[in-house]
Structure 1
């Protein structure tokens, strides 16, 4: 009986073992199939990962190239900006220099214009009245005439005679011509140069017989002739004066002088 019990137990164990093996067999086959799919999935995943990595590397390379290109462009632009700043600074300096030069030229032009205006004023004719006659004279001409006349008024007859002679040489055809001849004749008379005085007075009478000073010039000629002991010549000159300017004060004096010469 005991052997039957043992035998029965052994049979049960065997059955359990066989059942376990039967169950284990399909599990093992299923486990092997899942590993292959997993490997394929891993491989595909790795391929996709490699592709993504390669793509990322390509993008990074392109990005790096673009960044490098942008960097070079920025450097070029920065260099251009620096060159532009330098050029602007140079142009600004040139403009400032040109502005200073222009200002100096304008000041010089203003000074030059003022100087020219002043010089022109020295040569612009001015109105003057001499012996009742309106004339146009230059400022320097008027100045020299008045300076010579001032010498005569001071009694410096030699200097006055020289000044009037110099005036004639410097201003030929001057509106002062008759007045210069008259006063030069008087200056020469004052220094007792009677012959030269007669020449000056006769020049006045010849140039302008109706001049305001002509009667006095004729009387002065007669006075010079008297000083030179030319009584005949003096009488002729006095007769000329009385005939040419009978109503003048000089003619009245000439009559007295002529009566004294008889």
Structure 2
């Protein structure tokens, strides 16, 4: 805008300067026709030269202005591209963190979900805390802490009465009581196995434990009856073989 304004201003000044010489043409007789024409031509030449110079300067200024603007725009574009790259990286990292979070969450939830395990030949669903409680109680028994094991298995049965480990917990509680010489408690625990879980493979061993407990209590008649029932009901079991070996001692 300034360049155009200057251009107009200079042009107007030139025109005014040329107009100032008009009286010369009006009084051409004083100078002669040739001299007047020459003066006009010189003025016109000066005006054209000035106009050309102005145009050149205007073009140069325009080019410089456009170049400066282009450099400025390129700088801004580069800065914006840099910001876009940073934001893109942040978005990518956020998406990855979110993905990792959900993968980890899914893994944690899966760990909390009941797992399919094989217990006494049957596939059952067992919760994480349920499995941990059973394993802890069994570990106590294997470690020789029979009192702690008996209590732990008792707690397990109360907390998880419908557990796939319920029959096993009842059986190991009976063995824990037997190891403490609590024969009456052992009999009661093993009778629950026989009564409540008749199809469980531990029933034969439970009956053997009952017979052994009865023998320890000097109730040979009851012990003999239990062992004979064991042999009749589960003749091919290892428990039945052991019962056959013990029967002669009960006479």
1:60 to partner: Cα distance: 4.2
Please report the TM-score for the alignment, with normalisation by the length of structure 1: 0.61
1:157 to partner: Cα distance: 0.4
TM alignment of 1:141-160, pairs within 5 A: 145-160=134-149
- The 3 A distance-change label for structure 1 pair 38 and 97 is closer
Please report the TM-score for the alignment, with normalisation by the length of structure 2: 0.63
The CA RMSD over aligned residues, in Å, is 4.1
1:205 to partner: Cα distance: 0.9
- The 3 A distance-change label for structure 1 pair 151 and 55 is closer
Alignment deviations for residues 2-53 of structure 1 (CA, whole Å, 9 cap, x no partner): xxxxxxxxxxxxxxxxxxxxxxxxxxxxxxxxxx899321222112222333
Distance in structure 1 (CA, Å) of the matches to 2:92 and 2:230: 69
Give 1 or 2 for the bigger CA radius of gyration. 1
Tell me, what secondary structure is at the counterpart of 2:32? helix
1:118 to partner: Cα distance: 7.2
1:99 to 81, 89, 98: 89
- The 3 A distance-change label for structure 1 pair 210 and 249 is farther
Distance in structure 2 (CA, Å) of the matches to 1:70 and 1:195: 114
Structure 1 alignment gaps of length 5 or more: 1-35
Instruction: Tell me the equivalent position of 2:34.
Output: 41
- The 3 A distance-change label for structure 1 pair 103 and 245 is same
Check the 8 A contact 1:122/1:138 in 2, yes or no: no
1:241 to partner: Cα distance: 3.5
Aligned: 1:113 with 2:103: yes
Instruction: Tell me the equivalent position of 2:241.
Output: 249
Distance in structure 2 (CA, Å) of the matches to 1:93 and 1:219: 79
Distance in structure 1 (CA, Å) of the matches to 2:46 and 2:206: 132
Tell me, what secondary structure is at the counterpart of 2:144? coil
Distance in structure 2 (CA, Å) of the matches to 1:99 and 1:43: 79
- Runs of 4+ aligned structure 1 residues displaced above 6 Å come to 229-232
Instruction: Tell me the equivalent position of 1:207.
Output: 196
Aligned length: 219
Structure 2 alignment gaps of length 5 or more: 1-28
Aligned: 1:165 with 2:158: no
1:54 to 47, 55, 69: 47
